[in-house]
Amino acid sequence: MKTTTGKPTRIRFRMLALVFISVVINYMDRSNISVAAAAITEDLALTPVQLGMIFSAFGWSYAALQIPGGILVDRFGPRIMYTLTLITWSMATVLQGFMKGFAGLFGLRLLLGACEAPAYPVNNRVVTSWFPDNERASAIAVYTSGQFLGLAFLTPVLVSLQYYLGWQGLFIVTGAVGIIWGVVWYRLYRDPADHTKVNEVELAHIEKGGGKTNRTVVDQRTGQQAFRWSDLKEVLSHRKLWGIYLGQFAVNSTLWFFLTWFPTYLVKYRGLSFIRSGVLASVPFLAAFAGLLLSGFLSDGLLKKGVSPNIARKSPVIIGLILSMSIIGANYVDSPALIILFMSIAFFGNGFASITWVFVSALAPKHLIGLTGGVFNFMGGLALIIPIVIGYLVKDGNFTPALILIGSIACSGACSYIFLVGKVENIEIRKTGN
């Protein structure tokens, strides 16, 4: 029997810490290829177009399996799905250290994307289950910040690992970390009603605020019903959902640049040394981390003060996407300090816009949150084309068109939130007879 009196426990913050660490590992294994890119290009004699293909390979399978990943999360829950996805993607990471050519590395990047596909639907499911509405943007900001904070501090570490162990050792070490963490996740994570240390007061706080614990009607349905094609049709038939889908493509387009081409841009196209680029590359990630946390707590703070969800939720995303357009300014300066300044402003904006997952919980039909999250992340994952397009744009040695492209896409994302999303409220499904 759970305790029904006294102060609420704070187990939800422990679960959030587990998600945060998982996100750090997730993005470490996505982005280690960008650190290793220069050495891999030399050792394997890759062209810029081949490098762009390797950069984007992860995104092909990741995007393609987002919808199945969301369905599996709804059906089997976060504990099982995250354990499986963590261990399998980490094994794919280790194997990359043994590749001798383009084909093998390309294939393993595809496998990595496939294994990581359920990760963000799991993250959103955990936060939706454990946090009330007015704490959810902050929770999303905290776990999403793992992708920026982790890379800000880990980029110099990854550079050092490669310097001392080679690019092969970089993949082996980072993959081994993920395998260990997969076991830790399975041992420590539980859904709200299944956790032995959460009391009834905390559960009531979560449920009263709109959290979808697995005691609610919503979750009684989730995990029990088979997938129906009509559900997919439902989450593809609403303009406001298309607004966040297109917006996520824009957010991810900037992110893909920083996760793939950014270190190569600094070294090959701006003439910085490898070690110096590892230090400077961490600055925009710190800016993105600051932007994301500021955005999440600001959004929840406005909501708690009675500000309309339309303003509290949408304004940070729109402002952030507009700030991301400043990446174009790096084309017109030569000083490393100014280049990093423009990149930092752009990535701060990207972080400020990255609370977008809050709209999945806020807009989706309540029994289709996992599926909506899968479609949402699938649409965002289509930004996988960005590294390929950049590879073609820069093959003659000019990076200017690539940065203009990224800034233009950010502008289109802001327009999608302004003109398509509309009122921030859950979509109600019309009931039909049996």
Please state, for a pLDDT cut of 70, what percent of the chain lies above it.
Answer: 91
Q: Is residue 84 part of a domain?
A: yes
Give the pLDDT of residue 214.
63
Query: With contact defined as beta carbons under 8 Å apart, do 86 and 182 qualify?
Result: yes
Q: Is residue 108 in a domain?
A: yes
77-92 confidence digits (pLDDT tens)? 889 999 999 999 999 9
* Phi, psi for residue 54 in degrees, rounded to 5: -65, -40
pLDDT band at 341 (very low <50, low <70, confident <90, very high): very high
Q: Report the alpha-carbon distance of residue 349 to residue 251 in Å, rounded.
A: 9
Let me know if residue 350 belongs to a domain: yes
- Backbone conformation region of residue 307, classed left if phi is above 0, alpha if psi is from -120 to 50, else beta: beta
Residue with tokens 């422990």: 14
pLDDT tens-digit map of 277-287: 566 777 888 89
Here the CATH number for the domain that contains residue 39 is: 1.20.1250.20
Count how many domains the chain has: 1
Check whether 3 has a pLDDT greater than 70.
Answer: no
Burial of 401 (0-12, 13-18, 19+ CB in 10 A): middle
Would you say residue 218 has pLDDT above 50?
no
Query: Can you say whether the dihedral through the CA atoms of 377, 380, 385, 387 is positive or negative?
Result: negative
Q: Residue 271: enclosing H or E segment and its boundaries?
A: none
Contacts by 135-138 with C-beta closer than 8 Å and gap 24+?
135/209, 135/300, 136/300, 136/358, 136/361, 137/295, 137/296, 137/297, 137/299, 137/300, 137/303, 137/313, 137/355, 137/358, 138/296, 138/297, 138/299, 138/300
Q: What is the C-alpha separation between 290 and 344, in angstroms, rounded? A: 11
Listed in sequence order, the residues at least 6 apart from 45 whose beta carbon sits closer than 8 Å to its beta carbon are none
Q: Answer whether residue 349 is part of any domain.
A: yes
328 pLDDT exceeds 90? yes
In a domain, 434, yes or no: no
The pLDDT tens digits for 66-77 are 778 877 887 788
**Close Cβ partners of 136 (under 8 Å, ≥ 6 residues apart):** 127, 128, 300, 358, 361
Residue 133 lies in a domain: yes
Percent of the chain residues past pLDDT 90, beyond the cut: 32
Q: What is the pLDDT of residues 262-314, one digit of tens each?
A: 888 887 788 776 555 566 777 888 899 889 889 888 988 898 888 888 899 89
Q: Is the pTM of this model over 0.75?
A: no
Confidence of residue 95 (pLDDT cuts 50, 70, 90): very high
- Whether pLDDT at 419 is above 90: yes
Q: What is the pLDDT of residue 2?
A: 55
- pLDDT confidence of residue 274: 54
**Predicted pLDDT at 434:** 42
Domain annotation covers residue 429: no
User: Residue 106 and residue 96: Cα distance in Å, rounded?
Assistant: 9
Residue 416 has pLDDT above 90, yes or no: yes
Q: Which residue range(s) make up the domain with 176?
A: 11-419
Retrieve residue 412's tokens: 């289109």
What integer pLDDT is reported at residue 225 of this predicted model? 52
Structure confidence by residue, pLDDT tens digits, 13-52: 999 999 999 999 998 888 788 888 878 888 888 887 888 8
d(CA 177, CA 157): 14
Residue 6 falls within a domain, yes or no? no
